Structure 1
Amino acid sequence: MISDRGTGRRIIRTVLPAEAGTVAALHARARATYYPDGLPEDGIDWTAAWRGAVGRPDGQVLCAVRDGRIVAVASYRTPDGAPAETIKLFQFHVDPAHWGAGIGTALHAACVEQWQGDRRATAVLDVHAGNHRARAFYAARGWTPDPDHPAAPDDHHLALRLPVRHIRP
């Protein structure tokens, strides 16, 4: 657990299975910001998906809690078929009501710290091409386009990578 310096009002911890519905609602609020016509119907039961992510023995789901409420979430694990030193950030969301408060930065730093402790060399992620705010956030933290996975012209996602061993959290 990491507390906010001096105040103790913000902590970063593992998400509990019972919090999957709360995390799914936060996920929907964050995703809605980069779909100008509203969230597409994807047929996914996101509460069940988050419950599954929390329960995976090969993954980790962290959250940032502020004043007793989950305000950000990050889910990561080794992707299927990838080398053990690679970690994939599958989901990273900050509640839009808390943008600009440093919560995403603190959660990202906690992820990087964990990856370094786990001796990961590289982190990868896919970001929605139209999510310019997220793309700028990742770029400011050293994420760059993944040369091994260039986007196809009709792809809605960009693959990014981060050299974990060479940065400070």
Structure 2
Amino acid sequence: MIRKATQDDLDAISVLHTEARATYYRDHLPEEEYAGEAEVARSREGWARAVDREDATVLCAEADEDGALAGVAAYSVRDGVMTLSQFHVSPARWREGVGSALHLACVADWERRGVTTVRLEVFEPNKRAQAFYSACGWVPDPDQPRHGDHLVLRLALPRPPRS
């Protein structure tokens, strides 16, 4: 089930976020930068703000059998463009369709809003995420293909029909 996040989800979101980031930052960044106590606290505060923001959306994917958090996504408009700022699936749930279902829920919401372009940044060494996004139709952003050690990707959505 995909639903909007609430403040009650923050502990689970924080754990999932930290576990997912460890899979792609390990061996690339010092552990304290993605899993240290200060970073985890900073991250949790960021998620708390995002959940409360009226101009942002945080979606949770729950596992059907136990209701545990299996994935999380966050997006909002930045610099005039819808931006998928966070997209994580619990490593224990990879290859189970959680990411696909969560992505489809994001796309459905963007289409309802009339969004035609979405962007995201993905850590360059994170080949697993790059393959997932590519399979979902994301392509390198022609205007800004890189931002530091991240690749910038863009997803074009169909234009809404004129009424």
Same fold (TM over 0.5): yes
The alpha-carbon deviation at position 40 of structure 1 amounts to 4.4
Distance in 2, Cα, partners of 1:94 & 1:52: 20
Aligned to 1:156: 149
Say if 2:47 is the partner of 1:50.
yes
Task: Report the secondary structure of 1:165's partner residue.
Answer: coil
Which 5+ residue runs of structure 2 have no aligned equivalent? none
Aligned to 1:114: 109
Contact persistence 2:145–2:153 (CA under 8 A): no
Distance in 1, Cα, partners of 2:7 & 2:46: 11
Aligned to 1:20: 10
Aligned to 1:69: 68
Aligned to 2:19: 29
The alpha-carbon deviation at position 104 of structure 1 amounts to 0.2
Contact persistence 1:31–1:39 (CA under 8 A): no
Deviations 1:68-116 (A, max 9, x none): 111100000001x21xxx3100000000000000010000001000000
Contact persistence 2:123–2:151 (CA under 8 A): yes
Counting aligned pairs with the same residue, the percent is 43
Which 5+ residue runs of structure 1 have no aligned equivalent? 1-10
The alpha-carbon deviation at position 161 of structure 1 amounts to 0.2
Contact persistence 1:61–1:74 (CA under 8 A): yes
Larger proportion of helix: 2
How do 1:85-164 and structure 2 match up within 5 A?
A: 86-151=81-146, 155-164=148-157
Equivalenced residues, count = 150
Deviations 1:43-80 (A, max 9, x none): 5411111101101110100010012111100000001x
Task: Report the secondary structure of 1:142's partner residue.
Answer: coil
What letter matches 1:23 in structure 2? I
Distance in 1, Cα, partners of 2:140 & 2:51: 28
Deviations 1:13-45 (A, max 9, x none): 001112112101100100100123363426541
